[in-house]
Amino acid sequence: MDPRRYSRVIDPKVRQVGFCPRSGQVQNQSGPTGPSTSPPVSHISPSSNSLSPVMIPPPRHPSDAASRAVNVPATATTPLRPRRPSFDDPNNNSSSTEQLVVSSYNPDESVLGTSPPFSGIGDDRDGDAESEFSDNSVNWIRQNDSGRFPLSLAPDGRFDSAAAKEKQSKKPQVGSRKERGGGQTAEVRNDLPSESKPLKEKTSKAERRALQEAQRAVKAAAKAGGNKSKAASLSAHEQTNKAAKLPLQRKDDGPVTSSAAVSERRGGERPPEKDRKKDAPAPRMQFDDKNRVEKAKKRSVVKQTEARNRVELFRHLPQYEHGTQLPDLESKFFQLDPMHPSIYKVGLQYLAGDIRGGNARCVAMLQAFSEAIKDYSTPPEKTLTRDLTAKVNNFVSFLIECRPLSISMGNAIRFLKSRIAKLPITLSEAEAKSSLCSDIERFINEKIVIAEKVIVEHAVTKIQDGDVLLTYGSSAVVEMVILHAHKLGKQFRVVIVDSRPRFEGQALLRKLVKIGVSCTYTHINAVSYIMREVTRVFLGAASVFSNGTVYSRVGTACVAMVAHAFHVPVLVCCEAYKFHERVLLDSICSNELGDPDAISKVPGRMDINSLHDGTNKENLQLLNLMYDATPPDYISMIVTEYGMIPTTSVPVIVREYGREHLLI
Amino acid sequence: MDFQVVVLAGGFSKTLVPLVSKEVPKALLPVANRPVLSYVLELLEQNNLKDLIVVVESESAALLIGGWISSAYVDRLHVEVAAVPEEIGTAGALRAIDHHLTASDILVVSGDLVCDVPPGVVAATHRRHDAVVTAMLCSNPVSGSTESGSSGVKDKAKKRYNIIGLDPTKQFLLHVAAGVEVEKDVRVQKSILRAVGQMDIRADLMDAHMYAFKRSVLQEVLNQKEAFQSLRRDVLPYLVRSQLRSELLLNGVQSEENGNDKDASQNPKIVLSQLLANASTPSFHELHALGPNGFSLSPRKTHKCCVYIASNSNYCVRLNTIQAFSDINRDVIGDASHLSGYSFSAQNNIIDPSAVLGSKTTVGPQCMLGEGSQMGDKCSVKKSVIGRHCRIGSNVKIVNSIVMNHVTIGDGCSIQGSVVCSNVQLLERVVLKDCQVGAGFVVTAGSEHKGESLAKKEK
Domain boundary among A381, A416, A447: A447
Distance CA A555, CA A481 (A): 21
Indicate the pTM of the whole model: 0.67
- How far are the Cα atoms of A49, A295, A495, A498, A531 from residue A525, in angstroms, in the given order? 63, 42, 13, 9, 11
- The answer to whether residues A485 and A388 belong to one domain is no
- The answer to whether residues A510 and A466 belong to one domain is yes
Q: Please tell me the distance in Å from A614's CA to the nearest CA on chain B.
A: 24
State yes or no: pLDDT of A570 exceeds 90: yes
- If you compute the radius of gyration of chain B from its CA atoms, what whole number of angstroms results? 24
Residue contact A333–B278, C-beta within 8 A: no
Q: Please tell me the distance in Å from B9's CA to the nearest CA on chain A.
A: 22
State yes or no: pLDDT of B31 exceeds 50: yes
Query: Stretch A381-395: mean pLDDT, rounded?
Result: 87
pLDDT score for A159: 42
* Residue A633 belongs to domain with CATH number: 3.40.50.10470
Please say whether the beta carbons of B84 and A296 come within 8 A.
no
- The answer to whether residues A562 and A651 belong to one domain is yes
* Total domain count, chain A: 2
Nearest CA among B456, B385, B459 for reference residue B415: B385
Residue contact A360–B271, C-beta within 8 A: no
Query: Across A90-104, A641-655, B230-244, which has the greatest mean pLDDT?
Result: A641-655
| Residue A396 domain flag | yes
Contact of B279 with chain A, judged by CB distance below 8 Å, is answered with yes
**Burial status of residue B268 (CB atoms within 10 A of its CB: 0-12, 13-18, 19 or more):** exposed
SS (H, E, C) A124-158: HHHHHHHHHHHCCHHHHHHHHHHHHHHHHHCCCCC
State yes or no: pLDDT of A24 exceeds 70: no
Contact of B51 with chain A, judged by CB distance below 8 Å, is answered with no
Identify the band that residue B298 occupies on the pLDDT scale cut at 50, 70 and 90: low
Query: Across A8-22, A173-187, A283-297, B321-335, which has the greatest mean pLDDT?
Result: B321-335
Identify the band that residue A610 occupies on the pLDDT scale cut at 50, 70 and 90: low
Contact of B298 with chain A, judged by CB distance below 8 Å, is answered with no
Tell me yes or no: is domain B3-143+161-182+190-249+301-318 CATH 3.90.550.10.
yes
Same-fold call for B3-143+161-182+190-249+301-318 versus B346-454 = no
Query: Stretch B166-173: mean pLDDT, rounded?
Result: 83
- The answer to whether residues A399 and A467 belong to one domain is no
ipTM of the complex model: 0.77
Residue contact A354–B271, C-beta within 8 A: no
Q: Which of A341, A348, A363 sits opposite B275 (nearest CB)?
A: A363
DSSP-derived secondary structure for B325-386: HHHHHHHHHTTTGGGT-PPP-TTS-EE-TT-B--TT-EE-SS-EE-TT-EE-TT-EEES-EE
- The answer to whether residues A508 and A429 belong to one domain is no
Residue contact B128–A335, C-beta within 8 A: no
Please say whether the beta carbons of B114 and B141 come within 8 A.
no
Query: Stretch A541-569: mean pLDDT, rounded?
Result: 93
Number of A/B CB contacts below 8 angstroms equals 98
State yes or no: pLDDT of A99 exceeds 70: no
Chain A residues touching residue B118 (CB < 8 angstroms): 330-334
Domain boundary among A399, A420, A447: A447
Query: Stretch A49-54: mean pLDDT, rounded?
Result: 42
* H/E element, A29: helix A23-29
Tell me yes or no: is domain B346-454 CATH 2.160.10.10.
yes
Nearest CA among B27, B53, B177, B173 for reference residue B114: B27
pLDDT tens digits along B207-218 = 888 899 888 888
pLDDT score for A463: 93
- The domain of A378 spans 323-447
- How far are the Cα atoms of B12, B168, B202, B319 from residue B57, in angstroms, in the given order? 8, 39, 32, 17
State yes or no: pLDDT of A179 exceeds 70: no
Identify the band that residue A66 occupies on the pLDDT scale cut at 50, 70 and 90: very low
Distance CA A5, CA A140 (A): 11
Chain B residues touching residue A511 (CB < 8 angstroms): 294
pLDDT score for A663: 53
| Residue A156 domain flag | no
Chain A residues touching residue B134 (CB < 8 angstroms): none
* Residue A339 belongs to domain with CATH number: 1.20.120.420
Residue B11 CA to its chain's centroid (Å)? 13
* Average pLDDT for chain A: 68
- The answer to whether residues A534 and A581 belong to one domain is yes
| Residue A83 domain flag | no
Write down the domain spans for chain B.
3-143+161-182+190-249+301-318, 346-454
Identify the band that residue A493 occupies on the pLDDT scale cut at 50, 70 and 90: very high
Domain boundary among A416, A447, A478: A447
Length of chain A: 664
Query: Stretch A292-321: mean pLDDT, rounded?
Result: 70
* H/E element, A483: helix A476-487
Distance CA A331, CA A344 (A): 12
pLDDT score for A344: 86
